[in-house]
Amino acid sequence: MIESLTVLYGALPYLFRGTLVTIALVAGAMGLGLVVGVNLAVGQVYGNRWLRKAIGIYIWFFRGVPLLVLLFLFYFGLFSLLGINLSAFTVAIIVLGLITAAYQSQIFRGAILSLPEGQLKAARALGMSDRKAIVLIILPQALRLSIPGWSNEYSIVLKDSAVAYALGVMEMMARAHFVASRTYEHLPLYFSAGLIFLILTYLGTKGLRVLEEKVRIPGYSR
């Protein structure tokens, strides 16, 4: 028991550095997912037939192929073939980001479709281009509605981020594994790793709830 705690205590700084890597991975992926996801959603709702079809294929692909396969495909395949030498960390962010973009796009799409049709009409009637109407009128409302779904997606990406070790990204879970291999204290280390994930989930969802409350439209009951 004492021995386990000593090992754990000694490993904490190493695990925390890994936690920062995990946070960076998740933040990067969620950010990329947001930008790409919003564009996918807008394209899917307002785009022409071909764009909608292309986005449909994108979503089908990134939701259907397992994360590990996509990581290998991009890291060893696509970027190598293109002669682009990206770090494992960057590739992990891109792949996690493109996958969550597919899921996030469906959150945003649902939110956009739930808005009354008249919002876009009123914006157009004032002489706004579709682009302006979407950026100024549709998205600010749709994004507010998307926060609960987005929060859900955050906890999924957080857990998925551990798979990035397959490319050698030294995130938190991989580090817990290394320390366990050296010290044979598997259980305490995995327990700690689980605890760190729980705390990150809590902090993230809590933060998003605060944000949701902060941007809530007064008088609007939801």
The residue ranges that bind another protein (CB under 8 A) are: 10-11, 13-14, 17, 32, 35-36, 39-40, 42-43, 46-48, 51, 54, 72, 75-76, 80, 84-88, 90, 93-94, 116, 118-119, 121-132, 136-137, 140-141, 144, 165-168, 170, 174-175, 177-184, 186, 217-221
Note the maximum CA span of the chain: 72
CB of 79 to another protein, least distance (A): 9
Nearer to another protein, 30 or 167 (CB): 167
Structure tokens at 105: 């796009």
3-class DSSP state for residue 220? Answer: coil
CB of 22 to another protein, least distance (A): 15
Nearer to another protein, 11 or 158 (CB): 11
Contact 55, 105 (CB under 8 A): yes
Nearer to another protein, 23 or 166 (CB): 166
Cα–Cα distance, 196 to 198 (Å, whole number): 5
Nearer to another protein, 58 or 154 (CB): 58
CB of 37 to another protein, least distance (A): 11
**Amino acid at the residue 58:** Y
Nearer to another protein, 101 or 107 (CB): 101
Cα–Cα distance, 120 to 27 (Å, whole number): 31
SS3 of 59-114: HHHHHHCCHHHHHHHHHHHHHHHCCCCCCHHHHHHHHHHHHHHHHHHHHHHHHHHH
CB of 82 to another protein, least distance (A): 10
Nearer to another protein, 68 or 203 (CB): 68
CB of 69 to another protein, least distance (A): 12
Binning the chain into helix, strand and coil, the percentages to the nearest 5 are 85, 0, 15
CB of 140 to another protein, least distance (A): 5
